[in-house]
């Protein structure tokens, strides 16, 4: 129901590494593919081959430029899907009970047969993690691939979210963030995993690993002394040849 559980046994979620994400959008496509063919209404597109194509997605990759006070700007690719918040405002605003957070694993889901498509949950989500399907007119959001992670009909290696499974850079990790010994919790502890918009009080389960500092390039160069610039003004035959060729029509001045 639309009241939040006071406690969830597990906190399944994603850890997204902003240092290793290369911005290839493979997770966007894997997510769209899996969630169009499986759980719930397919993720529709409108005007797919026309002038104004658009569609519903559960995961999108933004790209930002960060300019520090000194030094070079840094480019950060930024995948964003539902953060399965502990204090999910999208759940409590829902008038029908269609939006709910599961007690057993903390996954936030929409029961599409109860959804009236009012859109209020998308208003309440600070992260833009919910999109109304343009054809079915029900609210779509990341399911944490609930139909993969527990699915005994697929090989064990595939029992993780489609986006995690597909990421060629290994930038997305899936696990239980309530268990301090899980690989994801260790990663968060080690790399200083952070919350997005902590001031919104949503207590996101998903964490983001900040980009690591860039290596400093050493100032000196061991080959330097052997690579002194060639004399600017030559003498003798080479200088004469250079001058003559330059004087030809179309020659370098």
Partner 1 sequence: MHPAPSVIIFTSLSGLGFGLLFWLGLGQPAPTGWVGFGFFFIAYALAVGGLMASAFHLGHPERALKAFTQWRSSWLSREAVAAVATLVTMGIYAALLVFAGIHVAPLGWIGAVGCLATVLTTSMIYAQMKTVPRWRHWSTPALFLALSLGGGALLSNNGWAALVLLTVAAVLQLVAWFTGDTRLARSGTDIGTATGLGGRGAVRQFEPPHTGTNYLLREFVHVVGRRHAQSLRVISFGLAFVLPVLVLALGLTHVTAAIAVLSHLAGVFALRWLFFAQAEHVVGFYYDKR
Is the separation of the CB atoms in 144 and 161 below 8 Å?
yes
Output 186 or 211, the one with its CB closest to partner 1. 211
Q: What is the rounded CA–CA span in Å between residue 175 and residue 49? A: 38
Of 164, 126, 167, 144, the residue nearest 58 (C-alpha): 144
Output 90 or 149, the one with its CB closest to partner 1. 90
Binding site for ligand SF4 (CB under 6 A): 30-31, 34-35, 58-59, 81-85, 88-90, 93-94, 96, 98-99, 108, 110, 115-121, 125, 127, 129-130, 139, 141-145, 161-163, 202
Exposure of 223 in the CB half-sphere (CA atoms within 13 A): 2
144 contact, one of partner 1, ligand SF4, none, CB 5-8 Å limit per kind: ligand SF4
192 contact, one of partner 1, ligand SF4, none, CB 5-8 Å limit per kind: none
Output 169 or 242, the one with its CB closest to ligand SF4. 169
Binding site for partner 1 (CB under 8 A): 1-3, 18, 28, 52-57, 60-69, 73-76, 78, 80, 89, 92-98, 114-120, 122-128, 131-132, 134, 136-138, 194-201, 208, 210-211
Is the separation of the CB atoms in 87 and 24 below 8 Å?
no
42 contact, one of ligand SF4, partner 1, none, CB 5-8 Å limit per kind: none
Output 34 or 188, the one with its CB closest to ligand SF4. 34
Q: What is the rounded CA–CA span in Å between residue 8 and residue 136? A: 30
Is the separation of the CB atoms in 184 and 15 below 8 Å?
yes
* Distance in Å, CB of 33 to partner 1, minimum: 16
In sequence order, the 6+-apart residues with CB closer than 8 A to the CB of 245 are 251, 252
Is the separation of the CB atoms in 10 and 105 below 8 Å?
yes
Q: DSSP class of residue 40?
A: S
* Distance in Å, CB of 149 to partner 1, minimum: 25
**What is the DSSP track for 210-252?**
PPPPPPPPPS--TTGGGGPPPPSS--HHHHHHHHHHHHSTT--
Q: DSSP class of residue 224?
A: G
* Distance in Å, CB of 87 to partner 1, minimum: 11
* Distance in Å, CB of 46 to partner 1, minimum: 10
* Distance in Å, CB of 108 to partner 1, minimum: 14
78 contact, one of partner 1, ligand SF4, none, CB 5-8 Å limit per kind: partner 1
Phi-psi region of 186 (alpha: psi -120 to 50; beta: other; left: phi over 0): alpha
């Amino acid at each position: 129901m639309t009241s939040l559980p006071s406690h969830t046994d597990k906190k399944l979620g994603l850890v997204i590494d902003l240092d290793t994400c290369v911005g290839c959008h493979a997770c966007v496509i894997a997510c769209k593919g899996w969630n169009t063919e499986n759980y719930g209404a397919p993720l529709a597109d409108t005007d797919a081959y026309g002038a104004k194509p658009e569609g519903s997605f559960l995961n999108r990759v933004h790209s930002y430029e960060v300019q520090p006070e000194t030094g070079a700007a840094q480019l950060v690719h930024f995948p964003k899907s539902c953060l399965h918040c502990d204090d999910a405002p999208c759940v409590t605003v829902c008038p029908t009970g269609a939006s709910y957070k599961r007690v057993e694993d903390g996954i936030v889901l929409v029961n599409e047969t109860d959804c009236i498509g009012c859109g209020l949950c998308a208003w309440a989500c600070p992260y833009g993690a919910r999109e109304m399907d343009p054809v079915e007119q029900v609210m779509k959001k990341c399911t944490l691939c609930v139909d993969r992670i527990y699915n005994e009909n697929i090989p064990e290696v595939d029992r993780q979210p489609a986006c995690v499974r597909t990421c060629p850079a290994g930038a997305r990790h899936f696990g239980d963030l309530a268990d301090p010994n899980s690989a994801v919790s260790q990663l968060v502890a080690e790399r200083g995993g952070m919350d997005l918009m902590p001031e919104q009080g949503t207590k996101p389960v998903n964490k983001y690993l900040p980009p690591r500092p860039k290596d400093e390039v050493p100032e000196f160069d061991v080959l330097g002394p052997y690579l002194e610039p060639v004399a600017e003004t030559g003498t003798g035959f080479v200088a004469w040849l250079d001058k003559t060729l330059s004087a030809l029509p179309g020659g370098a001045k």
